[in-house]
């Protein structure tokens, strides 16, 4: 669960999925651009850091190792969001990028002081995004179960405490809901 639902993978899938569901094939294309710029670049920074031995793993288990990737993520999302706005991307895709910026700002700020679970935060936030473009109740139910299982897995592998996974889920979902409400 922790490998398949790593935050960078979920963040890469979310914009194309939301774009496709809301806007069809055109939305998928815009979502792929958003994913490449806003999530692909930070994922590549993490992968290179792991490859060079500067980061412990793609999961950034050591809280202190999160600063560099968080900064890269912030810059990538700001640039990606600006590109999407300038190119007049569909609103749902722009909102997806804005959600990623909100995740970096909120969960990134928290993780500088206290280790929060990005796994549960990004998964819960992505569930909220999908609930905006699909029937909300079934998406939220399935998403809540999935986030709970991801949280359990993060605790089971001793990468987080129960409080850290719950805080991640709440922060990710609340930040996403607030961002989408303001934008859509």
Task: For 21-45, write each residue's pLDDT tens digit.
Answer: 999 999 999 999 999 999 999 999 9
- pLDDT of residue 101 exceeding 80, the answer is yes
Q: What is the pTM of this model?
A: 0.93
Non-local CB neighbours of 162 within 8 Å, separated by 6+ positions: 151, 155
Query: What is the separation of C-alpha 165 from the centre of its chain, rounded to a whole number of angstroms?
Result: 14
Mean pLDDT calculated for residue range 113-130: 97
Percent of the chain, pLDDT > 90?
A: 88
Task: Give residue 129's pLDDT.
Answer: 98
Task: Give residue 65's pLDDT.
Answer: 84
Through-space distance between the first and last CA atoms of the chain, rounded to whole angstroms = 31
Which DSSP helix (H) or strand (E) runs through 65? none
Structural contact between residues 121 and 169, judged by C-beta atoms closer than 8 angstroms: yes
Nearest of 137, 139, 166, 129 to residue 151 by alpha carbon:
166
- At 63, the pLDDT band (50, 70, 90 cuts) reads confident
- At 184, the pLDDT band (50, 70, 90 cuts) reads confident
Task: Give residue 166's pLDDT.
Answer: 98
User: Tens digit of pLDDT for each residue in 40-62?
Assistant: 999 999 999 999 999 988 888 88
The Cα 161–Cα 99 span in angstroms is 25
- pLDDT of residue 152 exceeding 90, the answer is yes
Task: Give residue 66's pLDDT.
Answer: 84
Nearest of 59, 78, 79, 84 to residue 69 by alpha carbon:
59
Q: Give the helix ranges, DSSP H, for 36-161.
A: 41-51, 67-86, 91-113, 118-133, 136-156
Other Cβ atoms closer than 10 A to 89: 26
Distances (CA, A) of 9 to 2, 138, 163, 171: 11, 22, 23, 19
Task: Give residue 136's pLDDT.
Answer: 97
Task: Give residue 58's pLDDT.
Answer: 87
């Amino acid at each position: 669960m922790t490998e398949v639902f790593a935050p960078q993978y979920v963040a890469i899938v979310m914009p194309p999925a939301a774009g496709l569901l809301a806007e069809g094939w055109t939305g998928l294309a815009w979502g792929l651009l958003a994913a490449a710029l806003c999530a692909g670049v930070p994922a590549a920074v993490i992968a290179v850091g792991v490859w060079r031995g500067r980061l412990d793993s793609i999961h950034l288990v050591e809280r202190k190792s999160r600063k560099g990737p968080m900064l890269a993520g912030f810059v990538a999302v700001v640039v990606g969001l600006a590109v999407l706005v300038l190119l007049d991307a569909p609103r749902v895709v722009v909102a997806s990028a804005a959600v990623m910026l909100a995740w970096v700002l909120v969960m990134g700020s928290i993780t500088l002081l206290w280790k929060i679970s990005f796994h549960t935060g990004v998964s819960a936030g992505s569930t909220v995004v999908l609930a905006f473009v699909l029937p909300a109740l079934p998406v939220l139910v399935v998403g809540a179960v999935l986030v709970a299982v991801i949280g359990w897995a993060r605790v089971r592998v001793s990468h987080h405490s129960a409080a850290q996974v719950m805080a991640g889920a709440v922060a990710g979902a609340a930040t996403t809901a607030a961002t989408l409400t303001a934008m859509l």
